[in-house]
Structure 1
Amino acid sequence: MTVTFDPATFKQTTRAQWENAAEAWHRWGPTIEDWLGAATDEMLRAAGITSGSRVLDVAAGAGGQTIAAARLAGPTGHVLATDISPGILRYAEHVAAEAGVANVTTLEADGEDLSEVAEQGYDAAISRVGLIYFPDQQAALAGIRRALRPGGRFSAVVYSTPDRNGFFSIPVGVIRRRAQLPPPAPGQPGPFSLGAPGVAEQTFTTAGFQDITVTPVPSPVRLPSAAECVRFERESFGALHQMLSNLTDPAREAAWQEITDELAQFETPTGFTGPCEMLVVTGTR
């Protein structure tokens, strides 16, 4: 059976997933920042964010990288955090308030339609593990490029290849097999859609960005056990739930148990270390 990809349905489902996962993504914040901290630092550096910078954060989620960017921009700068999920943006606002960061505002917006964002209004733009899930990455990049002033930089964190991301590619593989899902076709959204050699560079080039760099960043996932990693993914990785949606409850439980068993290979006497490599992709308008 051939399944036709429907981008409109995919986006509706994605929005609903993140509305449901917003609380968990916020609750797992310390784990996420430990996991993605090095890649986030590289993204913010590559984007050129300094005191006074105006920053656009696309698919901002619960705001960990938003707060980091806001601190770099300082009181004379500003960060606009956008996301398709209003629920998760409320957590970003809460995190900013708790951190005493007053230079963050939020906007509910589809990352492929940034028409409400000021043209050439930003010195830098960032997106952490968001661009990979856009059905039309060129539309998203065109909107981001439009929002940047000439010479402004956009930097995104994306996954590299499945073989370097076992903590995530193993669950994806198990679920695809059990749910009888085909692999995503070239050009379709997914965690590894920009990871293959040359793909991210070509995608940014096609969108009109220049001076493109791609920096690999080792980003191991460290938790007490494989079971804890599965709990993290089960509670907060909306994409996995979308893939499991057509299975019965017992079939889902069997899939999660197989994933736990497979991830156990990454347990050591000192805890679980799941392989992960991120790429920081940066281009200049």
Structure 2
Amino acid sequence: MTVFDPKGYKTTTHAQWQDAAKAWNDWGQVLNQWLGPATQTMLDMAGVTTGSHVLDVAAGAGEQSLSAAARIGPTGRVLATDISENILEFAAENARAEGYENLDTMVVDAEALDVAPASFDAAISRVGLIYFPDQMAALARIRAALKLGSRFAAMVYSTPQNNGFFSVPVSIIRDRAALPPPLPGQPGPFSLGGLGVLSELLERAGFTEIKETVIHSPLRLPSAADCLRFERESFGALHQMLSGLTAKDQNTVWEEIAVALTKYETADGFEGPCEMVVTSGRN
């Protein structure tokens, strides 16, 4: 029986995001167009408003951190945290470039988050919680950071069948790399996507007044080739799954994915099926 190694998983996750940091940042405009509406819903559900002090967990290059910074204004503050120092450098650089002086960064594993207790008015995590080996530990740290009555909101992918742009490559890679099915509770892109799964997790972590909404978020690009380039350049999870194959075999897998993604091309360009779940709870 395969045994999940959380320590090894974290090591490879850190390495993959260190490598993918620049590419992820370079695709920032696509990310904004694709996930912008769902991000605003996440900020609404977390109660982010003028003057809020906001904790962003697994912030990446900070696109949603900047959205929060714009909303809170100069009297608020955002702390963008991530396990990858490389990707947070882009978050800090982007904040400087856009003139936001209300954003700070901290390199930290979410499961070991160490900030002043009860010091934040809101907390958010965009497609980050799904990749934490110990989600309950991370949620406990987030709750401890929140003021009483404040809210945490997380955005995750829903089910594989509603996220073909991502699940098709995942399925092909899993088959060609002979990877076993994910174990129950194992982190991964669709680990929290089932109906009510994230709500139940937040409830078990001690959050109350749980709210959940599903948002249709298709990934629109000029062509399937653009989607392939987006995923090949910046999706650390896919590279992590491919790491056991030779470079030649990896290229063969990417060629197969390229063909499979063409089924989502339309007369108006590529439209990859994507559905996000946004869930929030009160501390």
Partner in structure 1 of residue 247 of structure 2:
249
**Distance (Å, rounded) in 1 between the aligned partners of 2:222 and 2:181:** 31
**Distance (Å, rounded) in 1 between the aligned partners of 2:46 and 2:197:** 20
Q: Secondary structure at the match of 2:123?
A: strand
Task: Report matched runs for 1:1-285 at 5 Å.
Answer: 2-115=1-114, 117-285=115-283
**Distance (Å, rounded) in 1 between the aligned partners of 2:199 and 2:25:** 31
CA drift at 1:14: 0.6
Q: C-alpha deviations, 1:58-96, integer Å up to 9, x for none?
A: 000000000010111110000000000011000000100
CA drift at 1:132: 0.3
Q: Secondary structure at the match of 2:111?
A: coil
Query: What runs of 5+ residues in structure 1 fail to find an aligned partner?
Result: none
- If the length of structure 2 is used for normalisation, what is the TM-score? 0.99
- If the length of structure 1 is used for normalisation, what is the TM-score? 0.98
**Distance (Å, rounded) in 2 between the aligned partners of 1:184 and 1:197:** 18
> Match for 1:137: what amino acid?
Q
Q: Secondary structure at the match of 2:110?
A: coil
Runs of 4 or more off by more than 2 Å in structure 1? none
CA drift at 1:3: 2.6
Q: How many residues align?
A: 283
CA drift at 1:197: 1.4
Query: What runs of 5+ residues in structure 2 fail to find an aligned partner?
Result: none
> Match for 2:203: what amino acid?
T
Q: C-alpha deviations, 1:174-230, integer Å up to 9, x for none?
A: 000000001211111000011011211110011000011111011111111111101
**Distance (Å, rounded) in 2 between the aligned partners of 1:251 and 1:227:** 19
**Distance (Å, rounded) in 1 between the aligned partners of 2:166 and 2:180:** 17
